[in-house]
Structure 1
Amino acid sequence: MRVILAGGGTAGHINPAIAIAQYIKKVDKKAEILFAGTPNGMEATLVKKAGFAFTPIEVMGFSRSFAPKEMAHNVNALVKVLRSKSRAKAIIKEFKPDIVIGTGGYVSGPIVLAATKMKIKTAIHEQNAFPGVTTRVLAKKVDIVFSAVEEAKEHLEVKNRFEVVGNPVRESVIMKTKSEARQELNLDDRMCILSFGGSLGADTINKIGADIIEWHYKQGLVNHIHGYGRLGKEKFPELLKEHHIDLNVTRDVKVSEYIDNMDTCLAAADLVICRAGAITISEIEATGKAAILVPSPNVTANHQFHNAMVLKKKNACILLEEKDYSKEKIIAIVKDLYNNRSKLTEISRNSASLAIFDTTKRIYDSILTII
């Protein structure tokens, strides 16, 4: 089997592509796999680190602003789009794939479109409940649309097959047990809260973290792990001071810029407070955790809100929008879950019921049927 994978821009588009490639190589040692992505994007680094061949193609998105600077950006983007068509065709002609799979981001557009015109089998994988522009365009043309959730279909015009396959979840996240994780982190059996805003951090999540720590840390009610991210490096210590929090008087709170053992922390947690990115949600479901999801309002098409709504409709999370956040509200929510463990357990159970563990196998088995 010869496969071209195209996806980029964010880890949420790249890591699913890598997971698909790893599974294909696992079951078909002779498979030949090539990644196509932007030369300076995250994909160039992550793909090479994963040990796969990589070929560059330059594509960039358009700005919706009419400011002079953005207009210049759009002219440059248009030039790259036009050039990407011939580059995509050349990549496909040289590699001769059996199938081309796009996993999102602008870079997947020209490669998958070129493949459809060249009568090569194609598939795309959409991670979010509200599909991006590229997915909405390609869904009308590809042989198979793979989606993390059924709700995405409401926003697509699907020409051929539509299959719900979930999002790939790291094996380390699935395999770690709560008891193993707590032993590794030296935690007791009190309720454990995990809060984080990603590697960059998020101001609202950091404010929430400080609010909750102020509520519980003197009483020793819970264990709490918080990641404040790069943008919180200076701001979060100031937040702690404003809340009169002295972490020197407690061992129950672990605070760091970046949580590099997220698989362990997820396994140890009873309650997770975070954004609503697609891969994060899939990991929460796979570990069966109750979550308070605070969608970022600064993402394309407000897609994190749509991701969170999928869980909320099934009572598998508590949704808190930034515009509705207040210190009193978040503490009331957490106190309710602390005092009502049956409610916490019910949300956890509902979250676990949504998990899909064999995403890459489903994708592989399905593409075999068309090639």
Structure 2
Amino acid sequence: MKVLIAAGGTAGHINPALAIAGAIREHRPDAEIHFAGRKKGMEYGLVTKAGYRFHSIEVNGIQRRLTPKNVVRNVVALYHLALSVPRANAILDEVRPDLVIGAGGYVSGPILQAAAKKGILTAIHEQNAFPGVTNKILAKHVDIVFAAMPDAVERLAAPQKTVIVGNPVRAEIYAQDRVEARRSLGLAQGQIMLLSFGGSLGAQRVNEVVADLAQWELKERNFYHIHATGSIEKDDFAKLSAEKKIDHDPRFVIREYIDDMPRLLAAADLVISRAGALTLAEIAAMGRASILIPSPNVAENHQYHNAMQLQKLGAAVVVEEKNLTGQKLIEIVDGLTQNAADLMEMGIKAKALSQPDSLEKIWKTLEPHLEKVN
């Protein structure tokens, strides 16, 4: 059996795609799995590191805000778009897949459309509550639609072939031991731990308000707080933390990137973060209370819609960036941490959104279609 998976752009698309690939291989060890994506994108490194064959295709999004730089980007995007259809067909002819799965990103468009026209079994996985344009178009043409969240079903407009499966979460999340995780960090009994981050690149506004929060908590509370600045914002945050004199207290740990997220989520009591689909899936799987700051710079404002799924259940507090100040964040954290039982209750509500059997649901949906495939 041969499978081609198209995914790209962000870890929120690529990691679920890799999880799906792993599940297929677990059930069908004979499966030959290939990936398609941008060679200059994040997907190339993650996919090749995982040991899968990679086929490059260049597809870029059109920039809606017209600036001189974006005009140039749009010219390049249109050029790549013109080449994407013949390139997609070339990849399909080379791989000859029995199944093609799109896990998000612009690269999914031409690959899945070409596969559907050839009569190949096709499926897409939508990670967000508010689907992107590519998946809304593809939902009409593919055979199977996997949705992570109930709110996405109506927006994908293909309810008869849509299955709600959640977002696949890496096995390490479920394998964590909270007591051991907290012990490894040297946390005192009952000490509240905060975990904050704005993404792998960083988020300036998140960093600014977290700096205000840290200045307050180091004077007023005995929290243990780990904050990831992101690679782009690292130097600016170093200057900011020095100005606020929060850079040398062992209770406030500054990192560029979090490479042990499962352990830190297990140890944390409260998470402050953006609202990417993968982040929320891991927060839910671990059962953690959260303060969510949706990025305003994403297509269709989908992070806001993701975050509201948790707030509706009382599992999170959502603050839009336009309303975010350091003082507001301090007030929210102060209120939430007055009673440890309240944080625990929010975590239980978050856990209710978790779908630990997500990959099994995906496989059981695919399996009947693949029974006759050698």
Which residue is 2:178 aligned to? 178
Aligned equivalents of 1:201, 1:71: Cα separation in 2? 26
Which residue is 2:303 aligned to? 304
Q: Does 1:35 align with 2:53?
A: no
Which residue is 1:293 aligned to? 292
**Aligned residue runs from structure 1 range 119-138, under 5 A:** 119-138=119-138
Aligned equivalents of 2:76, 2:327: Cα separation in 1? 48
Confirm or deny: 8 A CA contact 1:202 1:229 kept in the other structure: yes
| Deviation of the 1:332 alpha carbon | 1.4
Confirm or deny: 8 A CA contact 1:276 1:305 kept in the other structure: yes
**TM-score, structure 1 normalization:** 0.94
Deviations 1:279-323 (A, max 9, x none): 000000000000000111111111111110111111110111112
Which residue is 2:116 aligned to? 116
Confirm or deny: 8 A CA contact 1:139 1:159 kept in the other structure: no
Residue identity matched to 2:127: Q
Confirm or deny: 8 A CA contact 1:276 1:293 kept in the other structure: yes
**Aligned residue runs from structure 1 range 48-67, under 5 A:** 48-67=48-67
| Deviation of the 1:237 alpha carbon | 2.8
| Deviation of the 1:197 alpha carbon | 1.2
Which residue is 1:152 aligned to? 152
| Deviation of the 1:338 alpha carbon | 1.5
Which residue is 1:7 aligned to? 7
Aligned equivalents of 1:38, 1:330: Cα separation in 2? 38
| Deviation of the 1:226 alpha carbon | 1.1
After TM superposition, the structure 1 stretch with the greater mean CA deviation from structure 2, 62-71 or 95-104, is: 62-71
Which residue is 1:269 aligned to? 268
Residue identity matched to 1:256: R
Aligned equivalents of 2:299, 2:80: Cα separation in 1? 21
Q: Does 1:232 align with 2:243?
A: no
The structure-2 alpha-carbon separation of the partners of 1:3 and 1:254, relative to structure 1 and needing over 3 Å to count, comes to same
Aligned equivalents of 1:74, 1:201: Cα separation in 2? 25
Which residue is 1:88 aligned to? 88
Deviations 1:84-111 (A, max 9, x none): 2122222222322111100011111111
| Deviation of the 1:333 alpha carbon | 1.1
Confirm or deny: 8 A CA contact 1:8 1:42 kept in the other structure: yes
| Deviation of the 1:141 alpha carbon | 0.8
| Deviation of the 1:219 alpha carbon | 4.6
Aligned equivalents of 1:217, 1:254: Cα separation in 2? 12
Confirm or deny: 8 A CA contact 1:178 1:267 kept in the other structure: yes
The structure-2 alpha-carbon separation of the partners of 1:322 and 1:30, relative to structure 1 and needing over 3 Å to count, comes to same
Deviations 1:305-349 (A, max 9, x none): 111011111111011111211222211111111212232122111
- SS of 1:217's equivalent in the other structure is helix
The structure-2 alpha-carbon separation of the partners of 1:74 and 1:241, relative to structure 1 and needing over 3 Å to count, comes to closer
Aligned equivalents of 2:261, 2:118: Cα separation in 1? 42
**Aligned residue runs from structure 1 range 213-228, under 5 A:** 213-228=214-229
Residue identity matched to 1:192: M
Confirm or deny: 8 A CA contact 1:116 1:122 kept in the other structure: yes
Residue identity matched to 1:332: E
Aligned equivalents of 1:275, 1:285: Cα separation in 2? 14
Residue identity matched to 2:227: H
Unaligned runs of 5+ in 2: none
Residue identity matched to 1:284: I
The structure-2 alpha-carbon separation of the partners of 1:267 and 1:136, relative to structure 1 and needing over 3 Å to count, comes to same
The structure-2 alpha-carbon separation of the partners of 1:155 and 1:312, relative to structure 1 and needing over 3 Å to count, comes to same
Question: Taking every aligned residue pair, what percent have the same amino acid on both sides?
Answer: 48
Deviations 1:254-280 (A, max 9, x none): 222222211111110000001001100
Unaligned runs of 5+ in 1: none
Which residue is 1:333 aligned to? 332
- SS of 1:77's equivalent in the other structure is helix
Residue identity matched to 1:361: E
Aligned equivalents of 1:159, 1:110: Cα separation in 2? 23
Deviations 1:207-236 (A, max 9, x none): 222222222213552111111122332222
Confirm or deny: 8 A CA contact 2:289 2:344 kept in the other structure: yes
Which residue is 2:200 aligned to? 199
The structure-2 alpha-carbon separation of the partners of 1:83 and 1:211, relative to structure 1 and needing over 3 Å to count, comes to same
Which residue is 1:168 aligned to? 168
Q: Does 1:141 align with 2:141?
A: yes
Deviations 1:150-198 (A, max 9, x none): 1112322217410111111111122112111111112222111111112
Confirm or deny: 8 A CA contact 2:210 2:326 kept in the other structure: no
The structure-2 alpha-carbon separation of the partners of 1:247 and 1:114, relative to structure 1 and needing over 3 Å to count, comes to closer
Q: How many residues align?
A: 369
Aligned equivalents of 2:75, 2:292: Cα separation in 1? 38
- SS of 1:231's equivalent in the other structure is coil
CA RMSD of aligned residues (A): 1.7
Aligned equivalents of 2:78, 2:130: Cα separation in 1? 25
After TM superposition, the structure 1 stretch with the greater mean CA deviation from structure 2, 149-158 or 285-294, is: 149-158
- SS of 2:337's equivalent in the other structure is helix
Aligned equivalents of 1:330, 1:70: Cα separation in 2? 34
Aligned equivalents of 1:105, 1:164: Cα separation in 2? 20
